[in-house]
Amino acid sequence: MIVFKNVFEIKEFLKNKNSEGKKIGFVPTMGFLHEGHLSLVDRAKTENDLVVMSIFVNPLQFGPNEDFERYPRDQVRDRELAQNNGVDVLFIPEIDDIYPRSLSVHLTVKERVNVLCGKKREGHFDGVVTVLAKLFHIIEPDAVYFGLKDAQQVAVVEGLVEDFFFPVEIVRVPTVRERDGLAKSSRNVYLSDQERIEAPEIYHSLSKAARKLSDREGDLRSILQELKQSINDHTSGIVEYVEAYTFPELTQLEQLTGEILIAVAVQFEKARLIDNIIVDLG
């Protein structure tokens, strides 16, 4: 595995690989790697000649009262995991490498962000698309791998790629879970022992709601209400939202057909967890 920190050095290296006709798969992350991230690498390995992973905790996508400073980081462990799981090229830039001066152009997301996390975390997805536009230009990948755990991110990035004709394929990868159903997340380390016991209830309640929706058991409103109640009853977290939209457009549901995203966010004492299920009603 080759490790780069400098933007121009990795660009030069990958340009050569590109001209040799190598297909480049890219996995952008914020590090503190877990099996969710590694499933993206696995998938990328099967579909590309070269797998590039970036680890960059992007300050631009954190709000002033969010967890940028205390976001979990462990570069030594991450390097080892990346190496042992078949990453070919690891890009670990510093903030100054990606943002050498204040930006003279800001990207602002207009669609797919007035709901869910986009509504709660103002400016979050502007930061996401800004860093991804930079990373796409640096890496020039053929395919980029994103986890459906962050379904709204997938929707927004698909919008970015379509709007600006980025010549990349976006690959959606299913959510990897702990054995008890909790979606793997770098932020799970913030959970107290008691919260960790309760947290799988989020997925259990989501699964129940998804089953009811696909069996058309009750109307959507009552299914979502029950889902919220179930998380409230079984966890000490505070439900931030329980909502359902069309996917990937994230518009209000006019009718129960096609792909429907049911998404939740729950605030525990130190961890804000998100999870979702996409139900295909055909």
Q: Out of 34, 37, 106, 204, which one is annotated catalytic?
A: 37
Single residue of 56, 62, 146, 166 touching ligand AMP by CB under 6 A? 146
Nearer to ligand AMP, 30 or 250 (CB): 30
- Using CB under 6 A, count the residues that bind ligand AMP: 17
Nearer to ligand AMP, 154 or 224 (CB): 154
| Of 191, 81, 83, 100, the residue nearest 138 (C-alpha) | 100
Site for ligand AMP in 3-32 (CB under 6 A): 29-30
39 binds ligand AMP (CB under 6 A): yes
Catalytic residue check, 204: no
How much is the CA Rg of the chain, to the nearest whole Å?
19
Select from 144-152, 191-199, 261-269, 272-280 the region that touches ligand AMP (CB under 6 A).
144-152
Nearer to ligand AMP, 212 or 275 (CB): 275
Single residue of 10, 37, 203, 231 touching ligand AMP by CB under 6 A? 37
- Residue 132, burial from CB neighbour count under 10 angstroms (0-12, 13-18, 19+): buried
- Residue 52, burial from CB neighbour count under 10 angstroms (0-12, 13-18, 19+): buried
Q: In sequence order, which residues have a C-beta less than 8 Å from that of residue 125 and are 6 or more positions away? A: 61, 109, 112, 113, 117, 118, 152, 153, 156
120 and 3 in contact (C-beta within 8 Å)? no
Site for ligand AMP in 173-212 (CB under 6 A): 173, 175-176, 183-186
61 binds ligand AMP (CB under 6 A): no
Residue number with the shortest CB distance to ligand AMP?
A: 147
Cα(62)–Cα(70) distance, rounded to whole angstroms?
A: 11
Q: In sequence order, which residues have a C-beta less than 8 Å from that of residue 74 and are 6 or more positions away? A: 31, 32
Select from 108-116, 172-180, 207-215, 255-263 the region that touches ligand AMP (CB under 6 A).
172-180
Please report how close the Cβ of residue 19 comes to ligand AMP at its closest, in angstroms: 28
279 binds ligand AMP (CB under 6 A): no
144 binds ligand AMP (CB under 6 A): no
149 binds ligand AMP (CB under 6 A): yes
Catalytic positions, written as ranges: 37
Under the rule (CB under 6 A), what is the footprint of ligand AMP? 29-30, 36-37, 39-40, 146-147, 149-150, 173, 175-176, 183-186
